[in-house]
Structure 1
Amino acid sequence: MPAFSLEPDQVAWCAELRALAAQRLRPLAEKGEPGHVNRPLVTELGRLGLTDRLFTSGALDLCLMRESLAYACTEAETALALQGLGAHPVHAHGTPAQRDRWLPGVRDGSVVAAFALSEPGAGSDAAALALRADPDGGAGNATAARADGPRRWRLTGEKCWISNAPEADFYTVFARTTPDAGARGVTAFLVPADRPGLTGTGLDMLSPHPIGALHFDAVPVTADDVLGETDRGFRVAMGTLNLFRPSVGAFAVGMAQAALDASLAHTAGREAFGGKLKDLQTVAHQVAEMAVRTEAARLMVYAAATAHDDGADGVPQRAAMAKLLATETAQYVVDAAVQLHGARALHRGHLLEHLYREVRAPRVYEGASEVQRGIIAKELYATVEARP
């Protein structure tokens, strides 16, 4: 399928999702408490089959879901995305026992997942994470000194800016199992929230999402909790991010489109200077620029997602480009929409006031814009160096 063209059934599905978001999900979102997991909203996502679709669809479908939901209800979009981000490592790298234990609940919306990578000293530089997984030499760990490595560990340290923390039911946690090994010494663990020594606190952030810090005080984990292979957890993290980065761009495109449509309606109806705002050339040109940038970002997101689904070369670069362009574009479009609306857009509860708070975070999480530029440059120079 060409990256620039959606099939009629996909277009119809997106329209259906926007209607569901407005009619069934937004009322639940409005009843939620900012900064906390909205479990009725997550349950409804499961009832509608959207959380199940996280694991049965490709990157493009994920982008279409996130864009469509973001257009009408950013809280629903975020709740869906966080379920996917936290549970995808289990789906892709978990053992049959891990998948059977946790994924049915994620699919039906009864279990909340979280992706715990960032730390106070290791945000964008994920390879610098310091959460320790120390071999547990206590009773029952007869294999601690065997050649194939320990079978039990104790997690000690902190995670920060973790979405759905501290209210998730389980966490995909990335910890250092080999000191001073950079990205090669990290292991991914599935850690249930009720493990002894695991506590958390909520953080009061600009956007209304549930975000918190996690504190690990010798939290016990075993080989049965490992996702993938010991010391290969960075691959788990990057594989997850390569899938979800284009869809972060889709989230941004959905917000940009909502801001653009609001601006079209406002400028077409607003009387000013003896006519409609849209009759002012500066206003018309501003709206045109917003539309061009939004469509360009959308096409790059679709192209990156299609490349991922097709197993094409250069997926990390394409994903980084899509996230970079789309999130920076959404920031521009939402800001321009606020300017076109004037003071009314600054009222608490106005759509654009909401979007203005929401649009800032995607330029930071899952790799800040500067990190995306670094990935792009690295991939470009690697191509040059590979030439004969």
Structure 2
Amino acid sequence: MDRDLLPAGDVGRTPQPGADVSDPALPANPWERWGWAFASIWLFFLAFPISATVDADAPVAAKVGTLVCIAGFAVANVLGYSHRHSTWVSLAAMIALALATMPVIGIGVISFTPYLAILSALELPAPAWKWAAGLWAAVPTLSLLDIDGYPTYFFLMLWPVVLGGVMLRLFGEREQVAYAARSEFALVSERERVARDVHDVLGHSLTALSVKAELAARLIDIDPERAKEELASIQATARQALAEVRSTVGGLRAGNLEAELAAAPRVLADAGISTTVVGDLADTDPRHRALLAWVLRESVTNVVRHAGARAVTIELGPHGITVSDDGTGCSGAEGNGLRGMRERVSGAGGTITVRADAPGTRVEVGLP
């Protein structure tokens, strides 16, 4: 056998690394489209400054101006989540509009703080969002200054809001990291799959070409017609190998057990090895036939290359395949072919055993 034995504003987003999030071919991001709805839900709590304005002892013009500032605050807050405007601009506008209400509602201006805190935590770029969230979380400590009318219980409302925003931001960023890691793992796995497939395709095809070329060279003087047939077969095998490599690199090729069962005796016969097949395609599990095709192909390639065998037995069953030969037996470290075979089988939840027989080598693959 084988003798070589999240950036700013990206909370809730998971774009593919390197992808252009503005690419119209990518799915629409619900957070970009409906972020304003998230902000709008909490505008209900602006009822407190509105109520304070209505009840304030101030001129009507001042009250109207304050209500306009509150409305502007609400608009700026919603735009801060729209991902079409700068979060910094939205925050600056919200702070300015909130301070403009102080002459009428006084210390009630702190009721705007939760909006500023959650927007900072969710939308500002790193690391600015951490400093901003910490700043807003410190606002309740102003109660230590004994400001007249300052609610000492304010921390009970603000701190849970800040904590919730921080948790959402951290979870969103960790989700992006996990998504990037999964994408990288998928890319590496795909590269390994292509490498295994190319190795299997080329290893098998080049081995067959080598055997046929040697046979043609021996026949060219004693049986020219047979030599011509072998040369034509070499051309066909080369064309097939090229097509397989192209389709494999494109990720389109799947193993065909029926084709491999038909090809294996021919390849072995060209190398002077007889083949016995026990069982047939109908005995195998349809779910695993593509995998069994790869196992058979690699096993036959290894026998032709390394075993020095005169006979091979292929046994098919509902739980796997066995390929045994009467060659020189297995020794040495595992090569790429056998490692690739192990990876394929283990990926399908199966087991593979390669052991010396008497004589030769026996490869057993068991599948669930």
Which of the two has greater helix per residue?
2
Give the TM-score normalised by the residue count of structure 2: 0.24
Structure with the higher fraction of residues in strand conformation: 1
Q: Which structure has the bigger radius of gyration?
A: 2
Task: Provide TM-score, normalisation by structure 1.
Answer: 0.23
